[in-house]
Structure 1
């Protein structure tokens, strides 16, 4: 393997000979220069993976040389070595994008640490991450097999997401494949867990997690009752792993005061889960109380057009009808920009609620557009695309505004999504709902071992579309496919992001309370 080649520029380079010998014995190739001009010539002629640069050289100073190095190759890491501890020099060096800063006299191990950090960090992190995951793999498998409560599953899911994010940086695909297998097994067991426990939760079991209708009363309304202003952002269809990517981008603006996982109701679809969240009621109760404001799956109308009304009713039920509040739904860029321009008018409100629809639009676009299919081919790419959108989006501007005005933010979602891979056959009448992860209708034919059946919707607080309506839910990474034109249907929908069914990704979703720094 070719040695790492390093340039060391210092007008007292002869005095550093012992350090150079030490590094050469470690396998590094060290070239030397005694002034900035020679260093620049050598960088023009050779490829170096790292430069040690003395700050106090006669003629062209270290800082001046640094500026010229960045013009030649902005990606080469430069370590400034100096006798000076002047803050001004440190700030100038950092501003010129140095990779590290060492104060003379330096010892050989300091140099070695800096080299490894800058030239071998990725390899060392990859190796350590892979080794750590391999060591934890068995414990994760044991935890999955023993999981008996929703708290157990939340911990398992957080662990899986942590490894998912960590292995994003590991080039060896073996560990990524191993994790994907483990995620599939986790979802298989979680499907069985939900099939057994979901109905008891709805009946008031003490073991039940916070469900969609309880989110605002438990996580938002207490702040309002305490007289605190809160800016609430609901990002449609945001998974926990996508939240963790967004969280890292918000670190300079906010402190995450609390982060919790709550559970989306079934179906994990916007019409059901988000209406339930805003209304504080299960879907069947919404339809019973407000029959003119609930539309069944087979009706043409927009299914989420009364969220503002539902929230108003919810606030009144909890004695908060007197507060000053606003609601906005953002699904178009032009409206988003206008909303950002008018943010100042919302500062005095006790509560501002924004529903932001982009992530849901992105997941649907992957189904319909080949270019998005390529850009979001897997979970890693999907997260990356989410991050890229977020940091350039009006949503980020909204959050920056909140941070600048010291407005706390409650950030959450209505459900997540899963990359579907495995088709399962279903047959039904023409009126059968079109969602790929759940079906509602009558006279459906399917393999009952492959689905979670809800034969009596009343038991699950789900609305009936007819006397014989029942629901079935897909689990794991399954999706429903019709026998007619089966192969075409499967090719079109496999490896797309869908929601409505039972999986860790769809049901276990984040709610975070952010305090401005």
Structure 2
């Protein structure tokens, strides 16, 4: 291992020679300077792991030097050493992003401890993560192979996401690769599980099925709606469980998380099906029967999610809850977000406020269309990172902060997730065949049976029959469905993009979170 390089800046360096020797004996490479100017010149030319710096020096103070160091390289950790424990100095120092501070006179072991904490922390975390995952690997492997039921599948997926997020802290590409292959294996098994069970779950007489899109509202929202305490049901479109975990700490600053659960999105895991099912409380086949004018199949003209409020009101009526005062708000464009922030206080007069927030869906679609976003969200890590930075600066976050001090219930959920597609599958169909990459329906579809979950009779999957002899097919794992014409162009264009509509853990097992104000 190469020596960690330390720069120590102090105008009384002669009295610290014993400290310098002590650190060098511990394996650190220590370069000393008696003033900030010389240290800054050195830092411009050399790579350094940590800077130790006295606060009170003639010429340029420690805090002034600190500001200039951050201009040279924001990432260099700086430890401030000071005689002065005044509160405003500490506030200034912490506000200027110091890594640690020590009060003079410093003990050599104190300095050593601070360096260990800063330099070794990343390595120690990475090693601990890798060892813990190695121990867990067997358990996950056993769970995957012991015929898990739908609750155990939710548990397996949560564990995989947990390790995926932990592995971000580790810089072990080997372990990340092992985890990725374990996740791929889990998706292979999950596809078989869904193929065996999905038709049973959506059968009207099913008594053994998970909570799914069409009964989410009844079981996970309505029980929390009470007179006198406004309940906000926020549906963030297209939010995977790992993306939720990324924004969870931001929610936790203002709200207390009571329940963190998952449910199953119906198939297709696409907005028009899954979200209409949530608000109507019905499977698509029943929505079409009851709302023949409002329901639109994929190939029909017009917006597919224009009647969510109508569906919501009809569900409240069916659940005999017309007494509750409910609002419905949809945020699709920036100005809708601004309106939400300005009007959020008025919503406190309602018993139930439904807010549909479309951002993540726009991001993942744009991700396919725009080269810039292809660069920004090229993999899961960056996709999560974009989600986090979006939420931090979003109108939704601002609106929630404005009402966080009021007594409210908050339920956050989504309609479906997305999966990064890598494996193309050829599908041949007639002109009426839909263009979606993760599912298709049409007459006379031609495909390789092992690549998809197929329903020759869509009614078996709780879906309308768009045309006589229409069948539905759903892509599995990381597959995407392409037509033979212009095949290579489309394969290259869509490979590694985030898509939804098919069968994968990421698309189907999605979050529903119950919170209250602190």
Q: TM-score, normalized by length of structure 2?
A: 0.91
Q: Distance in 1 between matches of 2:198 and 2:206?
A: 10
1:164 equivalenced with 2:160 (yes/no)? no
Query: Cα 1:450–1:8, aligned 2, differ >3 Å: closer, same or farther?
Result: closer
Matched residue, 1:347: 348
Q: Distance in 1 between matches of 2:465 and 2:499?
A: 23
Contact 2:227 2:324 in 1 (8 A): no
Q: Distance in 2 between matches of 1:132 and 1:82?
A: 39
Within a 5 Å distance, the mapping from 1:79-90 to structure 2 comes to 79-82=79-82, 87-90=87-90
What is the aligned counterpart of 1:70 among 49, 67, 71? 67
Matched residue, 2:377: 376
User: Which moves more between the two structures, 104-113 or 302-311?
Assistant: 104-113
Q: Distance in 2 between matches of 1:96 and 1:480?
A: 51
Deviations 1:208-239 (A, max 9, x none): 21101111111111111465311221111111
Matched residue, 1:240: 241
Query: Cα 1:106–1:142, aligned 2, differ >3 Å: closer, same or farther?
Result: farther
Contact 1:225 1:320 in 2 (8 A): no
User: Which moves more between the two structures, 133-142 or 342-351?
Assistant: 133-142
Within a 5 Å distance, the mapping from 1:105-254 to structure 2 comes to 107-203=107-203, 205-225=206-226, 227-254=228-255
Q: Distance in 2 between matches of 1:286 and 1:385?
A: 35
Contact 1:223 1:229 in 2 (8 A): no
Matched residue, 1:403: 404
Deviations 1:151-208 (A, max 9, x none): 2111211121122222234344333332222221111100001111222222355542
1:388 equivalenced with 2:389 (yes/no)? yes
Deviations 1:352-408 (A, max 9, x none): 111111211111112222222222221122222222222222222222223244533
TM-fit CA distance, 1:58 = 7.7
Structure 1 SS opposite 2:367? helix
Matched residue, 1:310: 311
TM-fit CA distance, 1:256 = 1.9
1:43 equivalenced with 2:39 (yes/no)? yes
1:332 equivalenced with 2:333 (yes/no)? yes
Structure 2 SS opposite 1:347? helix
Cα-Cα RMSD: 2.5
Query: Cα 1:312–1:443, aligned 2, differ >3 Å: closer, same or farther?
Result: same
Unpaired stretches in structure 1, ≥5 consecutive residues: none
TM-fit CA distance, 1:425 = 1.9
Contact 2:327 2:353 in 1 (8 A): yes
Matched residue, 1:100: 100
Contact 1:410 1:512 in 2 (8 A): yes
1:421 equivalenced with 2:418 (yes/no)? no
Q: Distance in 2 between matches of 1:50 and 1:343?
A: 46
Contact 1:402 1:409 in 2 (8 A): no
Matched residue, 1:280: 281
Q: Distance in 1 between matches of 2:77 and 2:181?
A: 38
Contact 2:225 2:351 in 1 (8 A): yes
Q: How many correspondences in the alignment?
A: 510
Unpaired stretches in structure 2, ≥5 consecutive residues: none
Contact 1:390 1:396 in 2 (8 A): yes
Q: Distance in 1 between matches of 2:489 and 2:12?
A: 72
Q: TM-score, normalized by length of structure 1?
A: 0.91
TM-fit CA distance, 1:332 = 1.1
User: Which moves more between the two structures, 72-81 or 491-500?
Assistant: 72-81
Deviations 1:59-114 (A, max 9, x none): 689xx422333234453433234566655554343234321133566554432221
User: Which moves more between the two structures, 355-364 or 84-93?
Assistant: 84-93
Deviations 1:446-496 (A, max 9, x none): 222222122222232211113322222111111112223322232222222
Query: Cα 1:294–1:32, aligned 2, differ >3 Å: closer, same or farther?
Result: same
Q: Distance in 2 between matches of 1:514 and 1:434?
A: 38
User: Which moves more between the two structures, 236-245 or 82-91?
Assistant: 82-91
Deviations 1:330-362 (A, max 9, x none): 111122223322223222222211111121111
Structure 2 SS opposite 1:308? helix
TM-fit CA distance, 1:240 = 0.8
TM-fit CA distance, 1:416 = 0.6
Structure 2 SS opposite 1:426? strand
Matched residue, 2:506: 505
Contact 2:452 2:474 in 1 (8 A): yes
Q: Distance in 2 between matches of 1:12 and 1:369?
A: 57
Q: Distance in 1 between matches of 2:331 and 2:57?
A: 59
Contact 1:261 1:510 in 2 (8 A): yes
Contact 1:147 1:153 in 2 (8 A): no
Deviations 1:98-154 (A, max 9, x none): 211335665544322210222333333333333433443333222212242112111
Contact 1:67 1:96 in 2 (8 A): no
Contact 1:457 1:470 in 2 (8 A): yes
Contact 2:422 2:496 in 1 (8 A): yes
